[in-house]
Structure 1
Amino acid sequence: MRDSSQSIQRVKVGLIGLAAVMLLIALASLVIGSATRERPVVAIGAPKPEVVANMGLDNVAGPSSEPLAELGVAPSTNAQAPAVQP
């Protein structure tokens, strides 16, 4: 009979511990969620994210078949003859 009451008590303690952990996770989720919903503070003269993102699009060229030649690491393999000056 004693083993039965001990195992029931252990199950109760385990369930209470599990409920406490779940409660702590829920509270942490609420705190983090409310912090991320706030609008960012815009400082005077600060870069605007949409402008900075569009600046990067101007620098992107089409896909290259010779990335090393563009970097100047290897010579280009294009079979173009150099222009001859008279």
Structure 2
Amino acid sequence: MKNKIYWKKNIQYISILLLLWFIVSFGCGILFVEQLNLIQIGGFKLGFWFAQQGSIYGFLIIIFTYIYLMNRLDNKLKKEN
């Protein structure tokens, strides 16, 4: 039973984080670039920044979020044993 719960939550986390990954990489880097280019950070257009640097930071945040969520889930299920 706990194995089913674990994998259900794991798939939920992965699905949500993959959607965020798509939005950060494809959305901010390609689809929304015109709107983001209206904003400048440090002299660079935000769309350019997301395409070059922002998506890398976004990926790192997604990875650490997954680690945090899975550790929390592991600890929760261990306590229930």
TM > 0.5 fold call: no
Bigger strand share: 2
Larger Rg: 1
User: TM-score, normalization: structure 1?
Assistant: 0.36
Q: Larger relative contact order (C-alpha < 8 A, sep ≥ 6)?
A: 2
Bigger helix share: 2
